[in-house]
Amino acid sequence: MRVLLIGSGGREHAVAKLITSSRDDVRLYVLSDYNNPGLRMEAENTGGRLFVGSTTSPQLAVEVASKISPDLVVVGPEEPQFHGVVDSLREGGYYVFGASTRCSQIERSKVFARQLLWKYGIHGRLHFAAFRSLEEAVEFIRYVGDVVVKPARQVGGKGVRVVKDTKAYLSEVKSQIKNRITEEAFYELAKHEDSEFKVLVEQRVDGVEFTVQVITDGSYVLPLPLVQDYPHAFELDLGYKTGGMGSISGPGHLLPFINREEYDTSIRAVREVLARLQEEVGDSYRGAFAGQMMLTGLWGPTIIEFYSRFGDPEITCLLPRIESDFLEILDRAARGALAGAKLAVAEDTVSVAKVIAPLGYPVSKSEASGHPVTVDEARIRELGCHILYASIEEGADGRLYTKGSRAFELVCRAESYDEAYRLSELAVSYVTSLDGWPLFHRSDIGSRWLVEERVKLAEKIRNIYRLKQARGTLGETSTLWVPSGGVVTNPLLSTVRW
């Protein structure tokens, strides 16, 4: 079976491993933006090859596909979807696993996603206001405090700022900060012309985050085990938000801090969004879909955003736990024949994934680029762990160089978090810098301490949730938020339409 995988990073390397380990008769081809040695090796080991070229060019994707006549094309990241790569390949007669441009709006436009949740009254929706101009956004944010300001489009995990506004005596300073934050979100969108709205202001919530991923062929929905992703750069959830510094999963389909009922509620919300999305855009959804959730006192499982693809490093975390023929599942989803599919997972195991990044990431990618590194793959394999190549390029001299973003992802599976944590920390030590430029990772991810912290936090949140449920006030806040399209009157200052 000939498979073309489009994408360049750690997520694609994880998917490539799942595909090549599914069966013996796979020939894997990859279209990647750069010469990722992990993806290249994965393809060459099956007799296929890696093509270097723009993954967001529909013409190039079709050209590569016409050279190799794949039985299946798998599109990993969201940007190719936004740029019409999936649509062009489908028009060319190929079976594609990946959301169409219209379906991927659910990720691309955070405003579209929020509007959909409100239009259909879906569980776990947050109040929001969307703005086309910076002036309107700045005017609005003067009057609301406890909010999150986001670029209105998915821009690869940049520009989202949480504004905790509780200390009134700091109002002057805070107002300057809020203006700056709003400007940053606005300018993040300057390079994207496909977004009508520029800034999204959203009700702030607190809680425990987790990701629920599913695979669908448009009607049948196959849930994957939950994963918790850690977006902050440094230990204790400090520092900049990144694309994700690691993740944990298991045992079973749950996490130690998310119970069956919360899992079921999340899956129900995701199923409903998928059904409504397809109605709205008039297109069938064939690919991976994910809800980035937060367990909050307001709603229980609450929707933060959606991905129209597998999460990264979420899918990495599941790599060692999936036992099914994953290629068959992807293929059936692409053909609209997923009904009845089951996903076998190593139930009594957990996994810990860790990202290794060059110092400078995520603020100064140029400083973080161009550093030679080396990996002792044999030692990592001896531990039973996998290493995935992400923002790493093979130079003309055959050495590996950082490209400034997350360089590697490591994932280890074990029967307990203690053991998976121990293995992951050992595995990290087999990646070394050759020019002395420091590499960093989060030493707390997967530790028993951090897992127990999340368990305690989730329990506190559940108590608030139960109280609100008993009072019949789920989703209600004491602030001035009302559903989008309504009018909110600030009794102190003015009336803002949103």
Tell me which residues touch ligand ADP (CB under 6 A): 126, 148, 150, 154, 157, 160, 162, 202-205, 209, 231, 241, 292, 304-305
148 binds, among ligand ADP, Mg ion, none (CB under 5 to 8 A by kind): ligand ADP
Q: Which is nearer to ligand ADP, 230 or 263 (CB)?
A: 230
202 binds, among ligand ADP, Mg ion, none (CB under 5 to 8 A by kind): ligand ADP
Strands (E), 7-81: 27-32, 50-52, 72-75
Minimum Å distance from CB 478 to ligand ADP?
16
Minimum Å distance from CB 290 to Mg ion?
10
162 binds, among Mg ion, ligand ADP, none (CB under 5 to 8 A by kind): ligand ADP
> Are the CB atoms for 185 and 159 separated by under 8 Å?
yes
Q: Which is nearer to Mg ion, 79 or 425 (CB)?
A: 79
CA 82 from centre of chain: 15
> Are the CB atoms for 385 and 412 separated by under 8 Å?
yes
Minimum Å distance from CB 488 to ligand ADP?
17
209 binds, among Mg ion, ligand ADP, none (CB under 5 to 8 A by kind): ligand ADP
Q: Which is nearer to ligand ADP, 401 or 481 (CB)?
A: 481
Q: Which is nearer to ligand ADP, 46 or 316 (CB)?
A: 316
Q: Which is nearer to Mg ion, 155 or 427 (CB)?
A: 155
Q: Which is nearer to ligand ADP, 141 or 222 (CB)?
A: 141
> Are the CB atoms for 80 and 9 separated by under 8 Å?
no
Instruction: Determine the Cα–Cα distance for residues 334 and 73; give it in Å rounded to an integer.
Output: 9
Minimum Å distance from CB 46 to ligand ADP?
33
Tokens 């367990």 found at: 295
Q: Which is nearer to Mg ion, 104 or 292 (CB)?
A: 292
Nearest to 7 by CA among 95, 67, 79: 79
CA 256 from centre of chain: 20
Instruction: Determine the Cα–Cα distance for residues 347 and 351; give it in Å rounded to an integer.
Output: 11
Residues 319-378 that bind Mg ion (CB under 5 A): none
Minimum Å distance from CB 124 to Mg ion?
15
Instruction: Determine the Cα–Cα distance for residues 247 and 115; give it in Å rounded to an integer.
Output: 29
Question: Which two three-digit tokens encode residue 452?
Answer: 């127990």
Q: Which is nearer to ligand ADP, 94 or 306 (CB)?
A: 306
**3-state secondary structure (DSSP) of residue 258:** strand
Residues 236-275 that bind Mg ion (CB under 5 A): none
272 binds, among Mg ion, ligand ADP, none (CB under 5 to 8 A by kind): none
The 147-151 sheet, strands edge to edge: 128-131, 199-203, 147-151, 161-163
CA gyration radius for the chain? Answer: 22
Minimum Å distance from CB 177 to ligand ADP?
17
What separation in angstroms does the CA of 302 have from each of 114, 263, 296, 353? 12, 11, 6, 24
Q: Which residues pair with 388 in a beta bridge?
A: 409
Minimum Å distance from CB 116 to Mg ion?
17
> Are the CB atoms for 154 and 107 separated by under 8 Å?
yes
Minimum Å distance from CB 292 to ligand ADP?
5
Q: Which is nearer to ligand ADP, 157 or 218 (CB)?
A: 157
Q: What is the chain's length?
A: 498
Region from 162-170, 288-296, 347-355, 478-486 binding Mg ion, contact rule CB under 5 A: 288-296
Is beta strand 408-414 parallel, antiparallel or unpaired with respect to 350-362?
antiparallel
Question: Which two three-digit tokens encode residue 86?
Answer: 């999936």
Backbone angles phi, psi at 377, to 5 degrees: -65, -35
Minimum Å distance from CB 336 to ligand ADP?
29
Region from 121-129, 260-268, 289-297, 415-423 binding Mg ion, contact rule CB under 5 A: 289-297
150 binds, among Mg ion, ligand ADP, none (CB under 5 to 8 A by kind): ligand ADP
What separation in angstroms does the CA of 343 have from each of 263, 315, 334? 16, 14, 16
Q: Which is nearer to Mg ion, 110 or 462 (CB)?
A: 110
Is beta strand 72-75 parallel, antiparallel or unpaired with respect to 96-97?
parallel
Print the binding letters for residues 296-315 with Mg ion: x by CB under 5 A, - otherwise. ---------x----------
Print the binding letters for residues 105-124 with Mg ion: x by CB under 5 A, - otherwise. --------------------
Minimum Å distance from CB 248 to ligand ADP?
15
Q: Which is nearer to ligand ADP, 42 or 312 (CB)?
A: 312
231 binds, among ligand ADP, Mg ion, none (CB under 5 to 8 A by kind): ligand ADP
> Are the CB atoms for 259 and 83 separated by under 8 Å?
no
Planar angle of CA 306, 12, 422, nearest 5 degrees: 90
Q: Which residues pair with 440 in a beta bridge?
A: 357
Minimum Å distance from CB 110 to Mg ion?
10
> Are the CB atoms for 400 and 393 separated by under 8 Å?
yes
Could you list the residues that contact Mg ion (CB under 5 A)? 292, 305
